[in-house]
Structure 1
Amino acid sequence: HDGETKNASIFAAVLGPSFDLSKLPATRALFETVRETEKAAADRGKEEFHRPRPWIVDPALKTCSRGDEPLSSYPSGHTTMAFSMGAVLARLVPAKAPAIMARAADYGQSRIVCEQHFRSDVTAGEALGLLVADRLMAKPRFAQMFDAARAELTKAGLR
């Protein structure tokens, strides 16, 4: 499931059923911006490194899927997404920050378990995701979107 889900809904188990992005338009818009930004950063890295995936290096590996681009292992895009979104969400809901970041780590670990990435791919994705979140938080327009999402989450009883 984690391999197919590429949005902030991966944190619904931490925040509960009220964390429904279809009912939280400001929050959804915030995380769409995070997704667009982190994906562009991760894609640049993948284009630069062209690292073979584990199942290319060892075709005998039992993988969850072989549908990803074979030469796109570094950095892990899924992990970049999880940590960039997790870092922003942890700032939005600080009381749940440890559980949010643990979920991001589990999401990244699933990429290793499924033989989609090497540990170093996931480690790089974590670092890149945290950097993307930090850089976004420094942008005035993103800060406005963040404030709108925080107000929306407060109103929904998620903060």
Structure 2
Amino acid sequence: MTRNASLLLVALLAISTVPALQAEAKDKPHFAVTIDTTAIGTPPDATTAARDMQAVLSAQAERTPVREELAIRDARQTLSGFLEEMNADIDKDELKKARRLFKDATKALEKALAPVKGRFERPRPFKANSDIKTCATKLPPSSSFPSTHAGTGTLYAALLTHVAPEKTAELEKRGLDYGWSRVVCGFHYPSDTEAGRTGGRLVAAALMKDPDFVARLNAVAPQLRKALGL
């Protein structure tokens, strides 16, 4: 093979790998964190599990169409959705960088909690009890413990508190409601949401130790404060 032919072959091979590399980069979280997963705990014993199920059934009985709609919106795990329920002024274009950052944070959370989910494989309430009527949205395929969505609500609240400390109480309440949406839908038990919140706090603390993450969060702080009416 001539030198020119060899160079051409190398170039073609490089071009052919670009889409694969781009796809891999797109799927890979921009931030990876290490947390102490033992702090999340384990699924409850039989007695607590029975109380867990009763709490889900009670939440089902109390569910209103309005609360179900909120739970369905919360299932999307987006910064915009989290803020909208706080009567925030959402400009998606203005919040583009913030939305990207919080999506990256969610991916870091999901990756951190995945080993715990895989370790316990706790069946979700709607699979354990046919009386559970789920919300009219896609059924989650993964196991129940811990709740990644509850972790997301806690994570978002913690990160937003960093840029808007005067809204701490409101943000924490929104984070709790966000996690409870999963119980309302019959997708999680209360103990799942508690474990998820622990995971969310751990991931938030780990991210806030990453200088790159903090720099990006501080850069979008003005836009987030504006959205929160500050």
Which TM-score applies when normalising by structure 1? 0.87
How many angstroms does 1:58 deviate by?
A: 1.2
Match of 1:117 among 188, 192, 202: 188
Unaligned runs of 5+ in 2: 1-71
Query: Does 2:101 match 1:30?
Result: yes
Q: Structure 1, unaligned stretches of length 5 or more?
A: none
In structure 2, the residue corresponding to 1:144 is in which secondary structure? helix
| Kept in 2: contact 1:26–1:148 (CA 8 A) | no
**How many equivalent residue pairs?**
157
* 1:11 match: 83
Residue 24 of structure 2 corresponds to which residue in structure 1?
none
8 Å CA contact 1:12–1:20 kept in 2: the answer is no
Compute the displacement of 1:86 (Å): 1.2
Q: Which amino acid is 1:16 matched to?
A: A
TM-score w.r.t. the length of structure 2 is 0.62
2:144 counterpart of 1:93: no
Higher radius of gyration, 1 or 2: 2
SS of match in other structure, 1:40: helix
Residue aligning to 1:45: 116
Q: Distance in 2 between matches of 1:135 and 1:121?
A: 21
CA-atom RMSD, angstroms?
2.0
Is the alpha carbon distance of 1:80 and 1:155 closer, same or farther for their aligned partners in structure 2, counting shifts above 3 Å?
closer
CA–CA distance in 2 between the matches of 1:156 and 1:109?
A: 24
